[in-house]
Every structure is written in C-alpha cells, then in structure tokens.
C-alpha cells in the first residue's frame, strides 16, 4: 500500500493575483473574505454632525491618543472614559461604535482593539505589509492612507529588500502614479500576511507624508481574542 500521508500536507497553490474591492456601499467590506481580495474600501461619506465634531478636535489644542479594548456596546462610554474631551463629541463616538460593531460582526469577534490618535507625523512612512490577519483603517481628518495595487509592486523591495532606499527609488514602485490614496471618511479593511493562505500577498500601504504642520485623525481597529 502506498503511503499517502505526505500528500495531506501539501498546501493548495496561492493565487498569483490580488485586487481591491471598492464601493460606496458598506456591504463591500464582506468582500475581504474573497481569497483574491486583499483590500476592501467602503467609500463612506461622514455626516455633518460627525464632521463638526472632527473639526472641533482638529481646531483645538487637544491631542487624542486613545488606545483601548472594548466590546462594541461599550465603545462610546469607553472612549469618553479614556478621553473626556470626547464627552461632547457623541456623533463621532457613535460612528466609531458603529464601525466597531460592523468589524466585530464581520469577523465574529467579541472585542476589538481600538486606536484613535491625532498624528503630526507619518506613523509608518514606508510601504509595508502588516503581519496580522486584518485591520480596519479610517482617516477622519488630514491626509488619508496610501496603498499600492498588487500588480504594481516589486515585493522583494519591501523592508530590508529596499537596502535603505526611499520607496520611490528602491524599485518597489514602478511609477509614482501607481500610488493610490483613500479619502477622508473611507473605511478600509487591509488584509495582512497572517490571514489564512495570504502570506506574501498582504495589502501594501503606508502613512502619508504630513506637511505644513498639518495633523491627521486616524482610527484603526484590530482583532482581539
């Protein structure tokens, strides 16, 4: 009898392509479960009340640095507890709570890791891939996150492969106009290398350059066990 056990350890080949899924409807976020999709973007328009809250934050001297773990139902209360200046920013808090509820529902999570920060410099200025399953990113003010289409990247130039050269001259990018950028209010799911069967195909993205003393207001949501 032939020994068939080695065949059981053979992984199916990875698709040689990945592409974004972008739409104005929130349902597009579920496309992240498609193996060939490594970035899903909901082109969301923020409400006037949320924009008013955001403008108030950006025009003040307050700096937000909220890092917390929460169930969706407790997000509003926990945001205010972590940062009392959000007490009069209920529409913004409720919008964030809605995104947390969507994130947890989509991935069957009980809790979410939440970061809401005001940034005056690029947090991750080099193009990179996250070594996580998936992350939600939404920019509320300032310049939004940049990303690269899968077929426009020389992945061998990521990280140490760049030999310290800037992204634009390392060979990572073919043309500067290949760089894509999200818009304010967009809600993006970025599939990382730790997603099942996605190693080497995670979404490549970076924080944008911040100029002229401008600031960003950025929300990220992550898996929590």
Q: Which pLDDT value is given to residue 14? A: 47
CA distance 132 to 155: 17
Asked whether the predicted pLDDT for residue 4 surpasses 60, the reply is no
Q: What percent of the chain has pLDDT over 70?
A: 87
**Is the Cα torsion angle 20, 28, 45, 222 positive or negative in sign?**
negative
Residues 139-185: pLDDT tens digits? 999 999 999 998 888 887 787 666 677 777 776 888 888 899 999 99
Asked whether the predicted pLDDT for residue 2 surpasses 60, the reply is no
Residues 20-33: pLDDT tens digits? 999 999 999 999 99
Reported in sequence order, the residue ranges of 57-175 that DSSP labels E, i.e. its strands, are 65-70, 111-119, 134-141, 146-148
CA distance 37 to 59: 37
Full-model pTM: 0.87
Q: Are 40 and 29 in contact (CB under 8 A)?
A: yes
Residues 192-203: pLDDT tens digits? 999 999 999 999
> For the CA atoms of the chain, what is the radius of gyration?
19
Strands 204-206 and 65-70: unpaired
Asked whether the predicted pLDDT for residue 77 surpasses 60, the reply is yes
* Burial grade of 2 (CB within 10 A; 0-12, 13-18, 19 or more): exposed
Choice between 52 and 177, residue whose per-residue pLDDT is larger: 52
Q: pLDDT grade, residue 16 (50/70/90)?
A: low
Residues 112-146: pLDDT tens digits? 999 999 987 656 677 889 999 999 999 999 999 99
What is the three-class DSSP state of 36? coil
What is the three-class DSSP state of 86? helix
Asked whether the predicted pLDDT for residue 105 surpasses 60, the reply is yes
């Amino acid at each position: 009898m032939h020994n068939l056990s080695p065949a059981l350890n053979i992984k199916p080949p990875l698709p040689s392509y990945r592409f974004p899924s972008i739409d104005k409807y929130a349902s597009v976020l579920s496309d992240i479960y498609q193996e060939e999709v490594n970035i899903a973007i909901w082109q969301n328009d923020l409400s006037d009340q949320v924009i008013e809250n955001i403008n108030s934050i950006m025009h003040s001297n307050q700096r937000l640095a909220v890092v917390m773990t929460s169930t969706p139902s407790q997000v509003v209360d926990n945001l205010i507890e972590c940062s009392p200046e959000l007490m009069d920013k209920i529409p913004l808090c409720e919008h964030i709570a809605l995104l947390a509820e969507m994130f947890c529902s989509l991935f069957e999570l009980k809790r979410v890791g939440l970061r809401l920060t005001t940034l005056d410099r690029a947090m991750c200025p080099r193009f990179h891939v996250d070594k996580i399953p998936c992350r939600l990113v939404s920019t509320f003010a300032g310049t939004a996150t940049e990303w690269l289409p899968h077929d426009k990247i020389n992945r061998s130039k990521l990280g140490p492969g760049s030999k310290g050269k800037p992204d634009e001259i390392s060979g990572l990018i073919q043309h500067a106009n290949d760089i894509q950028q999200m818009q304010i209010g967009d809600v993006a799911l970025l599939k990382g290398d730790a997603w099942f069967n996605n190693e080497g195909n995670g979404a490549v993205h970076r924080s944008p350059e911040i100029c002229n003393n401008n600031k960003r207001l950025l929300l990220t949501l992550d898996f929590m066990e």
